[in-house]
Chain A
Amino acid sequence: SQQGEEDPQALSIQEGENATMNCSYKTSINNLQWYRQNSGRGLVHLILIRSNEREKHSGRLRVTLDTSKKSSSLLITASRAADTASYFCATDGAGGFQKLVFGTGTRLLVSP
């Protein structure tokens, strides 16, 4: 079964609004990553947060990590139509070589 589960499955907002999506995972991790996928394209890495970090920023992106709850959130501020995409969390488990395991994704639609 997959490690991460995103919530909500789909999100529809207006340009300028903030978008928040959540990810829950099951096992201990080294880090958690967020990826974006535009329709019909490969995934693109957005941001990585390590297990000893609680919050990280990159441009309009803000990621939080709560290892006690095994959850993370991705906030996109001041959304733009170009942010329309699917967003996936991925975890790299702690201990030995752990493959990157993806969640099921959140489809974000930003309307002009």
Chain B
Amino acid sequence: NAGVTQTPKFQVLKTGQSMTLQCAQDMNHNSMYWYRQDPGMGLRLIYYSASEGTTDKGEVPNGYNVSRLNKREFSLRLESAAPSQTSVYFCASSDSADRMNTEAFFGQGTRLTVV
């Protein structure tokens, strides 16, 4: 049971390049999330998908787009990378059907550097 799998683990982009971060979960969870983690800032929510077919903005959505391809997969796209998007990106999933037990499971992260 792999849990939440993110690819790639590391990426270096030049300013203006685009890329897509992939995330897949095998726990049949309804909800999926993309966070970024910067030093001293904790985790900030970029986008989330409450259920298949829906996506919503989180705290810091500017410069990103997402696609909930199916129940398993939730991708994050940077259309034109900027140095300010240098960060570690985490995908997570949870079974939001149980409102009182929303434990989240995290991938191992993607370390992105934009030069």
Segment at the A interface, from B13-21, B40-48, B61-69: B40-48
A-chain residues with CB within 8 Å of residue B1 when the two chains form the complex:
none
Count A-B contacts at CB 8 Å: 67
B40 to chain A, nearest CB (A): 7
- Bound CA span A43–B108, Å: 8
Distance of A105 Cα from B35 Cα, bound (Å): 15
Closest residue of A by beta carbon distance from B104? A100
Interface residues of A toward B: which range? 20 to 34
Docked-complex contact B40 and A104, CB < 8 angstroms: yes
**Chain A residues with a Cβ under 8 A of chain B:** 1-2, 30-31, 33, 35, 40-45, 48, 50, 88, 90, 92, 97, 99-105
Q: Could you list 25 examples of A-B contacts with CB < 8 Å? A: A1-B59, A30-B99, A30-B102, A31-B100, A31-B102, A33-B102, A33-B103, A35-B104, A42-B90, A42-B106, A42-B109, A43-B106, A45-B104, A45-B105, A48-B101, A48-B102, A92-B99, A97-B31, A99-B45, A99-B58, A100-B102, A102-B35, A102-B44, A104-B40, A104-B41
